[in-house]
Chain A
Amino acid sequence: MSNVALRLAWRNLWRYKRRTWLTVGAMVFSNSLLVFSISLQFGSYDMMINNTLQAFSGHIQVQHEGYLDDPKMRYALDDVGAIAAQLRNELELQNISARVAGFALASSLDRSYGLQILGVEPTFEPLVSTIPGLVKQGRYLQKDSDEEIVIGSVLARNLKVGLGDEITFLGSGFDDSFAAGVVRVVGIFETGLPDLDRSMAQISLSYFQDAFAMQKRGHSIAIRANHIDETYQLQQRIKTLLANQQGLVVLDWEALQPGLKQAIQADMTSAWFMYIVLIVLVAFSVLNTQLMSVLERTREFGTMMALGLNPGNLSRLVMTETLMMSCLGLVLGVFIGFLITWYLSIAGFSYPGMEEMAVKFNLPDRMYPSITFLSLMLGPGIVAIGSLLAAIYPALRLYMLLPIEAMRAA
């Protein structure tokens, strides 16, 4: 494209200043809205995933086949501690912790509740889950095999126990024998997530294995990746390392927490429906403007054709004008959207009713949009493409133009 053609397109754009600005304005409005909204979405999804996975489940778990769908005591891995140690060693990653779970009736002096008791490795559990860090009273489990228990704050209140009190638990062991034990409360954690605070109790892995006649068995090995993007690669490496072991599966977070992924998908779908409507409206605006500008210039285009330009040149001119308009809308829209989003990513963002939503989806009470290249460019990029597509019809009309008739047009 020659310099002259570019200059011609640019000048054509400003013949009707107001019309061009209104069209660009529609783009800027949609673009800044899209930048803000997509950044907020990405930010909250990341937070939702990280908070949920880091709370407890981890990014990857190794389990016995079938345990995920049907968490029964007998779907256990043999010598779970050794597998965890092997993984830590070979992956050179410490964030790996073996776990065992069982069901028991926990009784204090005044109260009894049925609950799930977990056996964890006191040294490694804090590297996988955020729960040990949320112990608000007392401390987390320290040594393996101590007769100690850490429980959630609501559970502590319901059982009417405090630090130093004893809890008796009764359940059935691996071999269907009677499992019982007396443990001392050494820590009470508060995650703010009602489900965890009400129902979780942790004791040490080896104490659990003794009490429930598990021998060396356990139910899962939770692995926390350094970053969520490494999940797939890590999962593949673990699969290779454990390839010789029968009957175990390596599950990623999407399998462990299907609700999380699907809630995000459902939210994405409705969000994109709204984005597409906005983009279509902008495209209509561009179509209108460009069609009008082509029709107005019938006479002028006729003259240009008589002077030797072919329809191809002219339609390229119209497309160049649209491209310039889109670029202007993109730059201004991204800039304004960035400013708004950047401000909110520092100040935080909240709306009425968000607190209740936040608890449900493991989010903090204020949201901080996350600005990335993708979140800035994705929406505006699609708006620009939509605008160019909308200009195709007006540009194609030029091929139907007959120079003589066009020049005679009013």
Chain B
Amino acid sequence: MNITHMPFKAMLTLSWRNLWRNHRRTLIMLAAISVGVWAMIFMTALMRGMVDDMLHQGIRNLPGHIQIHHPDFRDDPSVVNSIASPGGELLRALNDPGTRQWTGRVRVPAIISSERESRGINLLGVEPRAESLITGIGEQIIEGRFLDTVDDRGIVIGAKLAQRLETRLGKRVVIMSQDPENNIADRGFRIVGIYKAKLPGLEEINVYAARGTLQKLLKLDDRISEIVIIDEDFRDVETLYQKIKAAMPDTLEIKAWYELDTYLNSMLNMMDGFVLVWIIIIFLALSFGLVNTLAMAVFERTREIGLIQALGMRPGMIVYQILLESLLLLLIGLSLGNVLALVTIIPLESGMDVSAVAEGMAMMGASSVLYPNLTLDDMIIANVVVILLGTLTAIFPAWRAAKLDPVQAINTT
């Protein structure tokens, strides 16, 4: 056999056998790599799951991926800053099949009073069917029903608010707000439904009434406070945003969710940074052991390497062989780590109960059940980082081995 150009298969066999010469060392290193890779993927999936949940909750609360308001509404959410119902070009753009769902709402601050208590609330005048499709409020009803039509005369409040007001289904409450002339507008409503939200804070704040009924009460005619639009994927709303913007009169303000809630947006961006930093930190902690293992393997074989060099193997081939050895080690470790990650994450995908810290999670904007989110992208990043940087780290001991002087190497004991 010509040792200067060994076939790949022979090289592979050689590397494989070398790897198992000191099986204890290899096994320990494999355990370290698998634990490292498992931790990379597992932690990333958990964090992704949490951030995704925060985003979903957050976008539901806003709600909508894109919103249109009077330019002053966000700073001064008063009934004065209302807009006309969409018409003409805007209406056509909204009804275009490219838009998944949209609705117009009236949103005003108001006071709700039962016989015993009063509270400040966020009063929403909604078109029941579209609202339910966008926020899922219809499915959150635990007692009674959601509003039926746009002129429904009932009101739907949160369970927590009902408790605070010491009221219940079927009772009457009084809503007090102001009309555009700053006259007090008030009216009695019967509670027709009670809902339960995932984030308890919302139950106390959001109260739903039918849009038409509120428009009459607040003397708004058919004016509304906001238009909310959802797209297929909240990560990619740019196209729709541009389309609606082009169709909309300049006097209105259009905002995408990431402009409306900068906290959510910064969490999403930070997450990508976090994934990379975490993967690299784990890798660095691993790299010391990796270099150590390979350096020891080279050191033990000093004599042997000298001998094959004397027999004509080129330094390049020695580097190649040691890199192949490290690649095999990394690949086995990676496979074990990936399998371990899958095995631990999949049973958790139905939800991990973290209700012990529910209020803390609520403070961060997440709910009390954590759903790990294993994405292919994150797995690929983890694997690619380990292989690339791992091979890079292996170059150092490999290069040292290739640099050995054959005569001296053969004479070492």
Contacts and interface: CB of A to CB of B under 8 A. Distances in A.
B21 interface: no
B263 to A, nearest CB: 4
Interface in B314-367: 354, 356-365
A18 B293 CA distance: 11
A70 to B, nearest CB: 7
Nearest to A19: B292
Nearest to A269: B357
Nearest to B28: A288
Given A109-B182, A111-B182, A281-B282, A262 B361 contact: yes
A266 B364 contact: yes
Given A109-B182, A265-B360, A352-B266, A284 B118 contact: no
A26 B270 contact: no
Given A110-B182, A262-B363, A105 B111 contact: yes
Contacts of A70: 163-164
A241 to B, nearest CB: 30
Given A172-B118, A270-B46, A26 B360 contact: no
Contacts of A291: 24-25, 28
Contact of A284 (B32, B184, B364): B32
B25 A103 contact: no
A230 B295 CA distance: 55
Nearest to B365: A360
Interface residues of A, number: 67
B359 to A, nearest CB: 4
B269 A22 contact: no
Interface in B82-128: 109-111, 113, 116-121
B260 to A, nearest CB: 12
Interface in A110-143: 110-116
A105 B267 CA distance: 36
Interface in A167-197: 171-172
A207 to B, nearest CB: 20
Interface in A63-80: 70-73
Contact of B182 (A107, A266, A356): A107
Contact of B273 (A103, A107, A352): A352
A357 to B, nearest CB: 7
A190 to B, nearest CB: 15
Nearest to B300: A296
Residue among A105, A110, A282 with most chain B CB within 10 A:
A105
Contacts of A289: 292
B176 interface: yes
A26 B284 CA distance: 8
Contacts of A295: 24
Contact of B288 (A29, A266, A357): A29
A292 B25 contact: yes
Interface in A181-230: 199
Given A284-B31, A285-B292, 18 more contacts: A18-B295, A19-B292, A19-B296, A29-B288, A33-B281, A72-B116, A73-B117, A109-B182, A111-B182, A112-B178, A114-B118, A262-B358, A262-B363, A264-B360, A266-B354, A288-B29, A353-B267, A357-B267
20 contacts: A22-B288, A72-B116, A72-B164, A103-B120, A109-B182, A114-B120, A157-B76, A259-B363, A260-B360, A260-B363, A274-B43, A281-B32, A281-B286, A289-B292, A291-B25, A352-B269, A356-B266, A359-B263, A360-B263, A360-B363
Interface of A: 16, 18-19, 22-23, 25-26, 29-30, 33, 70-73, 103, 105, 107, 109-116, 157-158, 171-172, 199, 258-267, 269-270, 273-274, 277-278, 280-282, 284-285, 287-289, 291-292, 295, 351-357, 359-361
